[in-house]
């Protein structure tokens, strides 16, 4: 059986789809998948052993100049690639109008969330098969329930899941043997952990002799990373990395500390121990989930738990366990 998964953005959403595909491949031996993903996130589905082909789409980039010759040519190339296969099922697990449009363009019967379950209900009108999934569930469970219904098997227990991926090799980037990776950047400012608190936390960790590495994805994050590194000699700002290179850094990290960001969910997929900082979003719904038997990422939202001293103590314990 060959299916097409349509889940284009964002990073965390793609990571949350991985356990559904792992379970589907276990329930249906021989199942193979292609996956439509935004070009900047294509490295995530490429990690999964059940994915034969990632079909990159560039809607975010194309909408800036939709009528240019280059965009029209690239759109045509995308359509050709998308329609080169006849699928047994086209599964839109995103439930947005843009993802529904992409599903319509592919060859195969379409399935997705029903009107009451989709994030953009009108998207459901283009599916042949529509399924109900409660919106308050964690995204991993929602994806697993949708996929199980669409492919005709029973989802296993909510706690019994596997991302099914391993990180890429580190490549040419020189990294310390052991380090804490501090994921300080997030798309929404209200999700951020205060910079002063980061500065204190990083200072406490580096004072023990443990390096802290600081990635960044835009100029604002770069400036913050440089300020944090300037305040703590044991901290280091990484060069700007694409997602594939960042997965390799995550794979080498001893412990990860980070805010509500897609990279934190990818750390969980790579079975990394760590601490999730959730000053604004409920971790019960948005927290990073560690699979059974993996080192745990502890998601914290209470103001007292988010105090830098307490976080430094927790990180130190995790580091001792990882020796």
Q: What is the pLDDT of residues 52-73, one digit of tens each?
A: 999 999 999 999 898 899 999 9
Domains identified in the chain, total number: 2
- Work out the pLDDT band at 323, boundaries 50, 70, 90: low
For residue 213, the Cα-to-chain-centroid distance in whole angstroms is 20
Average pLDDT over residues 225-248: 96
Inter-residue contact 206 to 235 (CB < 8 Å): yes
Same domain? For 49 and 187 the reply is no
- CATH code: domain of residue 231: 3.40.50.2000
Rounded to 10 deg, the angle between the 243-252 and 262-269 helix axes is: 50
Same domain, 219 and 113: no
β-partners of residue 35 are 5, 54
In a domain, 158, yes or no: no
Q: What is the mean pLDDT of residues 14-34?
A: 98
303 and 248 fall within a common domain: yes
pLDDT > 90 fraction of the chain, expressed in percent and rounded? 93
**Residue 110's pLDDT band (boundaries 50, 70, 90)?**
very high
Q: Is residue 272 part of a domain?
A: yes
Last-in-domain residue among 151, 168, 190: 151
pLDDT value, residue 58 = 97
Question: For residues 280, 285, 287 and 293, what is the CA-based torsion angle, rounded to 10 degrees?
Answer: 160
Segments forming the whole domain that contains residue 217: 180-321
Q: What is the mean pLDDT of residues 158-182?
A: 91
The answer to whether 15 and 44 are in contact (CB under 8 A) is: yes
**Whether 91 and 43 share a structural domain:** yes
């Amino acid at each position: 059986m060959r299916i097409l998964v349509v889940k284009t953005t964002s990073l965390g959403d793609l990571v949350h789809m991985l356990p559904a595909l792992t379970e589907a491949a276990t329930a249906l031996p021989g199942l193979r998948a292609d996956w439509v993903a935004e070009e900047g996130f294509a490295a995530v589905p490429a990690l999964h052993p059940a994915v034969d082909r990632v079909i990159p789409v560039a809607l975010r980039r194309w909408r800036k100049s939709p009528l240019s010759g280059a965009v029209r040519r690239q759109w045509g190339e995308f359509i050709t690639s998308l329609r080169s296969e006849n699928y047994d099922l086209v599964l839109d697990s995103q439930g947005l109008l843009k993802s529904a449009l992409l599903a319509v363009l592919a060859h195969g019967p379409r399935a997705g969330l029903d009107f009451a379950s989709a994030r953009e209900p009108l998207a459901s009108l283009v599916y042949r098969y529509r399924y109900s999934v409660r919106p308050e569930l964690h995204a991993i469970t929602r994806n697993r329930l949708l996929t199980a219904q669409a492919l005709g098997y029973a989802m296993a227990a909510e706690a019994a899941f596997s991302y099914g991926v391993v990180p890429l090799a580190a490549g040419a980037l020189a990294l310390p043997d052991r380090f804490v990776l501090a994921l300080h950047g997030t798309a929404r400012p209200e999700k951020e952990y205060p910079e002063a608190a980061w500065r204190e936390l990083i200072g406490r960790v580096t004072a023990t002799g443990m390096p802290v590495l600081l990635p960044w994805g835009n100029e604002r994050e770069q400036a913050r990373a440089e300020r944090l590194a300037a305040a703590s000699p044991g901290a280091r700002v990484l060069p700007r990395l694409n997602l594939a290179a960042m997965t390799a850094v995550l794979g080498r990290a001893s412990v990860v500390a980070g805010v509500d960001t897609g990279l934190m969910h990818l750390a969980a997929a790579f079975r990394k121990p760590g601490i999730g900082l959730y000053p604004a979003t409920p971790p019960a719904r948005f927290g990073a989930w560690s699979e059974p038997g993996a080192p745990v990422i502890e998601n914290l939202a209470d103001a007292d738990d988010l105090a830098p001293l307490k976080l430094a103590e927790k990180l130190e314990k995790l580091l001792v366990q990882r020796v």
